[in-house]
């Protein structure tokens, strides 16, 4: 696939990916979305369908048994799944988030083992950075990794871990030298089956109820030394580089849920009649729909531009990743809220998917760095002269 993405859907291959994922989601994801939300259960139907179609972790390179999708194709997969169910879209999104540190900095043996296992569907991959006292200030983490002979022993608690308990593999950030701050943090692969690994109760959340969020407890978890990702002390740098890439996938989620809400609002506006005509004929509503469509498309273009930079590893990816995530998630919150308004009282009920989409959209403004943090990131890039004008 081309790595130059000035506009979206520029290749037949990308269009084919969109068509395939949309068909799969219409048949095997969307029909279960309301039930998944209502019961706060993992979307197993979606997980099985995505795995069968090789969309569960499309980013894994072909050399490790994956689909080898480029950044734009991966974004399209996540966008289309989120259009049907944001909870289900966290399957490919978090598999990328959790495994990308291995892909970026892991040894060849680590890549073959864990990326291969992910590609084969032997288990999902989660990302353990945040802690009860270290959210936006991740450098203040307290989880420790201490060298012990030919291995490392990990102790600590990780919080807000997406798909915890479902995933088999976890990228865990831990302090190996507390005197060095960010340069004293290292990354490791921990397996669900490692003795000493356990999980808290699922969080009771506003949205994305189908994606379990739990604490991960590490109680004297001993792992072999070759499970360290990259060199000692490079974990934080790898974690930040990972987020530069995966913030683009959060932007894709936001675009997807916004598009799904707009689709439902448009269909309803054309069918609902008041004062003897469809409500879509009223100019006030038309202006609202026009703004929704305009902003969704602007968010999509920014997200795809960021995907191109992710694929190429451009110097201004940090700015574009933060900008795409921030802008698209703000748009998603606005568009889903307005879509509820289009449906009026019906939009406020669970008989229609808009209230779920509105609840789900909110998290995109929070995770992988709040939008306030994204604005700090963007400002620093601008002040450093890194952001590109083209």
Look at residue 7 and tell me whether its pLDDT is greater than 70: no
User: Quick one: residue 171, left, alpha or beta (phi over 0 = left, psi -120 to 50 = alpha)?
Assistant: beta
To which residue do tokens 């005509």 refer?
Answer: 277
Instruction: Report whether pLDDT(2) > 90.
Output: no
Q: How wide is the angle at C-alpha 249 spanned by C-alphas 246 and 252, nearest 5°?
A: 160
Residue 285 banded pLDDT, cuts 50, 70, 90: very high
For residue 292, which of 324, 318, 264 has the smallest C-alpha distance? 264
DSSP annotation string for 25-71: HHHHTHHHHHHHHHHT---HHHHHHHHHTT-SSTTS-GGGTS----H
Crossing angle of the two packed helices 317-343 and 371-383, in degrees rounded to 10: 140
Q: What is the DSSP letter of 209?
A: T
Tell me the three state secondary structure of residue 191.
strand
The answer to whether the beta carbons of residues 185 and 172 sit under 8 Å apart is: no
Summarize pLDDT for 223-251 with one digit per residue, the tens: 999 999 999 999 999 999 999 999 999 99
Judge contact between 70 and 3, C-beta under 8 A: yes
Distance, CA of 206 to CA of 226 (rounded, Å): 39
* pLDDT over threshold 90, residue 5: no
* Residue 6: predicted pLDDT: 46
Q: What is the mean pLDDT of residues 70-92?
A: 98
- On the question of pLDDT at 160 being above 80, the answer is yes
Residue 21 has pLDDT above 80, yes or no: yes
Q: What percent of the chain has pLDDT over 70?
A: 97
CA distance 288 to 221: 54
Contact 125, 118 (CB under 8 A): yes
Q: Which residue ranges form the domains of the chain, and what is each CATH number? A: 12-119 (1.10.540.10), 125-233 (2.40.110.10), 236-383 (1.20.140.10)
Of the candidates 61, 48, 192, the residue with the CA atom closest to the CA atom of residue 121: 48
Ordered alpha helix ranges (H), the chain:
12-28, 30-39, 44-52, 71-84, 86-105, 108-110, 116-119, 235-271, 283-312, 317-343, 354-362, 371-383
pLDDT at 387: 74
Q: How far apart are CA 60 and CA 74, in angstroms?
A: 10
Q: Is the dihedral of CA 109, 111, 114, 120 positive or negative?
A: negative
Q: Helices 317-343 and 354-362: crossing angle, nearest 10°? A: 150
Q: What is the DSSP string of 343-364?
A: HGGGGGSTTSTHHHHHHHHHGG
Distance of alpha carbon 268 from the chain centroid: 29
The answer to whether residue 144 scores a pLDDT higher than 70 is: yes
Contact (Cβ atoms closer than 8 angstroms) between residue 249 and residue 75: yes
83 pLDDT exceeds 50?
yes
Q: Which of 271, 264, 273, 281 is nearest to 341 (CA)?
A: 264
Token digits of residue 106: 């892991």
Any idea what DSSP says for residue 269? H
Mean pLDDT value across residues 146-165: 97
The catalytic site residues sit at 368
* Residue 10 pLDDT greater than 80, yes or no: no
* pLDDT at 201 > cutoff 50: yes
Q: pLDDT at position 11, please? A: 87
Q: Give the whole-number percent of the chain exceeding pLDDT 90.
A: 95
Q: Model confidence at 388, in pLDDT bands (50, 70, 90)?
A: low
Average pLDDT over residues 294-315: 97
Judging by DSSP bridges, how do beta strands 151-162 and 213-224 pair with one another? antiparallel
Specify the 3-state DSSP secondary structure of 77: helix
Longest CA–CA separation in the chain, Å: 80
Which residue matches tokens 């403004």? 365
Q: In whole angstroms, give the CA distance from residue 384 to residue 379.
A: 8
Cα dihedral 23, 26, 27, 29 in deg (nearest 10): 120
Please give the Cα distance from 370 to 361 (Å, whole number).
Answer: 13
Per-residue pLDDT band at 134 (split at 50, 70, 90): very high
Q: What is the pLDDT of residue 390?
A: 55
In the prediction, which pLDDT does 389 show? 57
């Amino acid at each position: 696939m081309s790595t130059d993405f000035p506009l979206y859907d520029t290749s037949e291959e990308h269009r084919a990916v969109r068509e395939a994922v949309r068909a799969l989601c219409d048949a095997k994801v969307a029909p279960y979305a309301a039930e998944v939300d209502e019961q706060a259960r993992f979307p197993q139907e979606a997980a099985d369908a995505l795995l069968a179609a090789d969309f569960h972790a499309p980013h894994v390179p072909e050399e490790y048994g994956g689909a080898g999708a480029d950044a734009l194709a991966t974004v399209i997969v996540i966008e289309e799944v989120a259009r049907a169910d944001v909870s289900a879209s966290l399957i490919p999104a978090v598999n990328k988030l959790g495994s990308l540190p291995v892909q970026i900095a892991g040894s060849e043996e680590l890549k073959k083992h864990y990326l291969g296992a992910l590609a084969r569907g032997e288990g999902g991959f989660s990302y353990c950075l945040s802690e009860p006292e270290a959210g936006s200030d991740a450098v203040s983490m307290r989880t420790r990794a201490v060298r012990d002979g030919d291995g490392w022993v990990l102790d600590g608690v990780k919080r807000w871990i997406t798909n915890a308990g479902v995933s088999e593999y976890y990228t865990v950030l831990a302090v190996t030298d507390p005197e060095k701050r960010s340069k004293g943090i290292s990354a490791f692969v921990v397996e669900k089956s490692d003795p000493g690994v356990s999980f808290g109760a699922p969080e009771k959340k506003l949205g994305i109820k189908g994606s379990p969020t739990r604490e991960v407890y590490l109680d004297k978890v001993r792992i072999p030394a070759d499970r360290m990702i990259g060199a000692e002390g490079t974990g934080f740098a790898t974690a930040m580089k990972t987020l530069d890439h995966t913030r683009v996938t959060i932007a894709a989620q936001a675009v997807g849920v916004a598009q799904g809400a707009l689709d439902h609002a448009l269909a309803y506006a054309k069918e609902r009649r008041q004062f003897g005509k469809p409500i879509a004929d009223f100019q006030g509503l038309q202006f609202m729909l026009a703004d929704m469509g305009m902003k969704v498309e602007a968010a999509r273009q920014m997200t795809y531009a960021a995907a191109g930079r992710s694929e190429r590893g451009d110097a201004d990816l940090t700015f574009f990743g933060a900008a795409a995530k921030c802008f698209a998630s703000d748009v998603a919150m606005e568009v889903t809220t307005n879509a509820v308004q289009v449906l009026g009282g019906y939009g406020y009920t669970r008989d229609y998917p808009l209230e779920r989409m509105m609840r789900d959209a909110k998290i995109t403004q929070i995770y992988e760095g709040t939008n306030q943090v994204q604005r700090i990131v963007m400002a620093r890039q601008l002040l450093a002269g890194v952001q590109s004008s083209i």
